[in-house]
Structure 1
Amino acid sequence: MNGFAAPTRRGLLLGGGALALGAGLVPMRLMAQDLVKVAGIYTVPVEQQWVSRIHIAAEAAKAAGRVDYTYTENVANTDYPRVMREYCESGVKLIVGEIFGAEAEAREVAAEYPDVAFLMGSSFPPDAALPNLAVFDNYIQDASYLTGIVAGAMTKTGNIGMVGGFPIPEVNRLMNAFMAGVKETRPDATFQISFIGSWFDPPKAKETAMAMIEGGADVLYAERFGVSDAAKEKGVLAIGNVIDTQADYPDTVVASALWHFEPTFEAALAAVQAGAFKAEDYGLYSYMAKGGCSLAPLGTFAGKVPEAALALVTEKEAAIKAGSFAVEVNDAEPSAS
């Protein structure tokens, strides 16, 4: 994500499941030229990494005159159903957000409003009995793997520090992919791994990263805000996640795995306009082959990354896009070494 309030998502129970609506398509049909009313409901500020990608995609569609988009941020999980109902009653046709901390409640609301399409970040699969709710997640392991190749080539000590929010699938898969990439260029690399138990606590993330630097790490995986601050202060390198922060850390952030939510959003919007929105897993739209993720430009580090590593990145990226190489999706909690 991340950007969610619950420390464990797969442990959440659906509490009896959503109300059965019957399989099939959402009973809605909008003309292509209609301005679709879209609402975003977020549990964190829209500046937060994960949520910012959804917000940016929706804002772009709004700027292009294709949707009427509004949003509410910093919504507590306990308040999420109420905000959902308010938007549904206002005539919104597509709601985007993340329900990791309110799975059962959110699905109950979706069942009450079959004419509204819900595109929600979730760890649960789509349910045919709830045809108006589709799920997604940030499957950007392809780009994370490529940043690992760069990190392995840039470390001098072979000691990599990794700071995450929570050890949940959407974080674990990116960390595991990154570590696999590191091993491509630094087979003997070791990893320090820690989770801060929060989606937004820069001071704690910085403190954790500082301890890793004291422990010998010279490259840090910045899954959370605050890690790059520690790297900058101590003169070591950092690898970014979801967004590109190199402009703020020009001498620190070497590479970043970027998430592009536009393919996911556009696919859902097209389905709503065609009256064909249904319960689907939109996770594949985050894959590199779909344009859902990429390796950020090296920028200030152009010419500083070994050519052999760049050649490997180019080779692997082409293979990923061609479908001849697949980065493993490993949701297990990563292990330190």
Structure 2
Amino acid sequence: MTKDMTRLGQSRRSFLKASAAGALLTTPFVRAALAAGDGPLKVAGIYTVPVEQQWVSRIHVAAVAAQARGDIEYTYSENTANTDYPRVMREYAEQGYDLIVGEIFGVEQEAREVAADYPDTAFLMGSSFKEDAGVPNLSVFDNYIQDASYLSGIIAGAMSKSGNIGMVGGFPIPEVNRLMNAFMAGAKEMNPEMKFQVSFIGSWFDPPKAKETAYAMIDNGSDMLYAERFGVSDAAKEKGVLAIGNVIDTQTDYPETVVASALWHFEPTLDAAIAKVKAGEFIAADYGLYSFMKEGGCSLAPYGTFEGKIPQEALDLVAARMAEIKSGAFTVEINDEEPKSA
């Protein structure tokens, strides 16, 4: 995801006021004719990075699966610059696509203006802002996988012998912060005195920089790394320390390094949107909840080669917390504040 950092200073209140100005405040159903079930939906994905990238790959995999089931016909554009993003949205809308999915973190206002121009097209977009009744055909989502991140933190806290964990992220934005904070809370369950080194590399894809940052943390005492970015696990492997993955499962690539990973499953989010469009009931909504563990939107990856190597105390706590999260008895805090080294 390429996200324009200048948006961080934008007031959500003023943004929503501007985007809703002069717009209809009703929420009409999108493409009601689809309620009759006239074949697969035409779905287009617009991505600012390659589909192999961690975050975007989850959307792409879910769309490919929906196409294999016959629910949709799927095409996509990758490596779309933020400056071109509104144009590509318009092109797909003009071509009659029923649902357009992507990530508009760097073009929030421009994207919503495009959506307002095509009220018969459904838009499901990754966004830091909430839905707006003034743009009734645009719904938002984000990867709220704090549940799985918390559980992976428990494993990390049990496996770290030095009590010093290094954490390398892309940018200190809510989408990253909430996962890091949940991970740190989980690690403290096993070691309340756990120390953290936190750094952001200012890029969504710069493995060499992430690797160098991780090297510095290892030199400063970390024996466990939180790999929010590609490159971190490479450093851990080379230096003989452990790592925790994020969004995708990389255990097979780093069998002696990656102990666990917090996985994001986009299928519940996309499938819910497809159902709404087909029923003619797609309206502005926040699909973020479909990333929660109890909705099947995230999970803890299998331990693979680390089966039998993780302390039983940690495994027991993970099992107990997982059951409580799914039942609603335990809630992982959603903390979007920037995490700090401690």
TM-score by length of 2: 0.96
CA–CA distance in structure 1, aligned partners of residues 83 and 73 of structure 2:
26
Name 2:341's counterpart in structure 1.
Answer: 336
Q: Which runs of 4+ in 1 moved over 2 A?
A: 7-16
For the residues of structure 1 that align with 2:326 and 2:23, how far apart are their CA atoms? 39
The match for 1:4 is: 2
TM-score between the two structures when normalised by the length of structure 1: 0.97
Secondary structure of 1:110's partner?
A: helix
Deviations 1:52-107 (A, max 9, x none): 00000000001111100000000000100000000001110100000000011100
User: Residue 225 of structure 1 aligns to a residue in which SS?
Assistant: coil
* Displacement after TM superposition at 1:260 (Å): 0.3
Where does residue 278 of structure 2 map in the other structure? 273
- How many angstroms does 1:273 deviate by? 0.1
1:36-75 residue pairs with structure 2 within 5 A? Answer: 36-75=41-80
Contact 1:49 1:242 in 2 (8 A): yes
Which one of the candidate residues 18, 24, 27 is aligned to 1:16?
A: 18
Name the amino acid aligned to 1:56.
V
Post-superposition shift, 1:234? 0.2
1:21 deviates by 2.9
Partners of 2:93 and 2:121 within 8 A in 1: yes
Match of 1:306 among 300, 308, 311: 311
Question: How far off its partner does 1:24 sit?
Answer: 1.4
Q: CA deviation at 1:129?
A: 1.1
> 184, 204, 207: which one pairs with 1:199?
204
Q: What code does the residue aligned with 1:164 have?
A: G
Number of the residue aligned with 1:135: 140
1:202 shift after superposition: 0.3
Other-structure match for 1:254: 259
Q: Distance in 1 between matches of 2:259 and 2:188?
A: 17
Superposition map of 1:142-291 within 5 A: 142-291=147-296
* AA at the equivalent of 1:296: A
The 3-state SS of whatever aligns with 2:167 is strand
Residue identity matched to 1:314: A
Per-residue CA distance 1:174-231 (angstroms, 9 max, x = gap):
0000000000011111000000000000000000000000000000000000000000
Give the number of equivalent residue pairs. Answer: 335
Q: Counterparts of 1:32-111 in structure 2 under 5 Å? A: 32-111=37-116
Please give the secondary structure, in 2, of the residue aligned with 1:334: coil
How far off its partner does 1:28 sit?
1.2
Alignment partner, residue 119 of structure 1: 124
Give the counterpart letter for 1:269 in structure 2.
Answer: I
State how far apart, in whole Å, the 1-side matches of 2:7 and 2:312 are.
41
Asked whether the 8 Å contact 2:265–2:297 carries over to 1, the reply is: yes
- SS of alignment partner, residue 78 of structure 1: coil
> What is the percent sequence identity of the aligned residues?
71
Separation in structure 1 between the aligned mates of residue 67 and residue 295 of structure 2, nearest angstrom: 22
- Asked if the contact 1:7–1:197 (Cα under 8 Å) also holds between the matched residues in 2, the reply is no
Residues 30 and 277, structure 2, Cα contact 8 Å, conserved in 1: no
Gaps of 5+ in 2: none
Q: Is the 8 A contact 1:21 1:111 kept in 2?
A: no
Q: Distance in 2 between matches of 1:253 and 1:120?
A: 31
